[in-house]
Amino acid sequence: MGRVSPRANPRIGVRAAVVLVISILPLLVSATLMDLPAPVQITLNGHVRFLPQGTTLGELIRERDLHPRSGRLLDVEGHVLRYRADPGRILLNGSPARRTTPLANGDAIQVVNGVDRTEGTRTVVTRLNGLRPGNPQFTLDTSRVEEVRVEGRVSGIVVSVRFRPIGPSTRPPAVALTFDDGPWPGSTLQILRILERMHVRATFFVVGYLAQRYPGIVRAELKAGMTIGNHSWDHPNSPPFDQLAPARIRMEMARTSRFLHRRFGIRVTLFRPPGGSFGGPVVTTASGLGLRIVQWNVDPKDWIASRNARTIADAVLSNVRPGSIVDLHDGGGDQSATVQALPRIIRGIRKMGLRLVAIGDQTGP
């Protein structure tokens, strides 16, 4: 019988193959890595990134989905005029670059969002015809007047309006008595009777909700030939009128004017802001509604409870001059002292040789 050859152990063969692969693999990987170019180190919005050599700016933008946010053009009230007014930029080392530009070590890429901006403004100056009172009006003086209007350069929205006197002014030998915060039961009608008896025309700045509550008193004022002005709907005091939201300011003016027109058929052109607060958007809003701001330059503070008739009359007569506008009150509380002082005030003004007129009326007894 011949000799039998021993059978090969398959486990030994597998182990040998594994050892061989393990030995050769590092050499293969090393050789492969030696063949690859080194990556490019850049910064993207301040963060370090590694990219394959030859990567272009455009490829980076596509791979990273880089899109700057667009900036909008806003009107002077904050509404959008144009959405992509500033599309933003992608900068390479602080400057715009072609998207085909290869990126190199140390390059800095920055995505710069567009910036919202508000439209510019322009100033339009218009010389108005004839002689006019100021706006705001503090006296009966009249002069040539320029309207200075600031508006959005794109939208044309009015930002502000002011009226600037130019040249010499004319001052009439007259005084205007004005009454605020009515109509008021009792005191308004008492004042009306005195004015009618003494043949005086005056101006009543009425509060809208009170005119709605006491329409008969407003009719009595109109029947007596008095001028009616707008004194807001609710007479807000706190915060000051000129610090209210623009929409509230407009509502206070517009609602009162609309009510007076619908209920009594009159179109008011005069507005006295509560507390005389006329800064901010008050003049602009009033002008847009066809109203002129009327203030005063003589204030006896007759609304203070401690004032008596003599104190009120003395305060008026010691300060009144040709062209004065006097601020009195027919409502808002107990005005009995004002009622008592009124005849003396009227006689004292006439002794100075001055007429008594309503606002806008240059004739009067």
Q: What residues act catalytically? A: 180, 329
Cβ–Cβ contacts within 10 Å for residue 146, how many? Answer: 14
How many Å apart are CA 279 and CA 162, to the nearest integer? 11
Distances (CA, A) of 79 to 152, 209, 244, 280: 12, 33, 20, 20
Element (H, E) at 262: helix 246-264
Instruction: Give me the count of residues in the chain.
Output: 365
For residue 79 the two structure tokens come to 């509404």
Say which DSSP state 90 is in: E
Q: 132-133 and 142-152: which strand pairing?
A: antiparallel
CA 270 to chain CA centroid, nearest Å: 22
The three-state secondary structure class of 219 is: helix
Tell me the sheet residues that pair with 122: 151
Cβ pair 328, 303 in contact under 8 A? no
How many Å apart are CA 44 and CA 63, to the nearest integer? 13
Cβ pair 257, 230 in contact under 8 A? yes
How many Å apart are CA 351 and CA 345, to the nearest integer? 10
Element (H, E) at 220: helix 215-223
For residue 63, the one-letter residue type is E
The three-state secondary structure class of 284 is: helix
Cβ pair 355, 199 in contact under 8 A? no
Dihedral angle computed from the Cα positions of residues 294, 300, 301 and 305, in that order, rounded to the nearest 10 degrees: -150
Buried b (16+ CB within 10 A) or exposed e, 172-191: bebbbbbbbbbbbeebbbbb
Tell me the sheet residues that pair with 243: none
Contacts of 163 (CB under 8 A, 6+ apart): 128, 132, 134, 135, 145, 146, 147, 148, 283
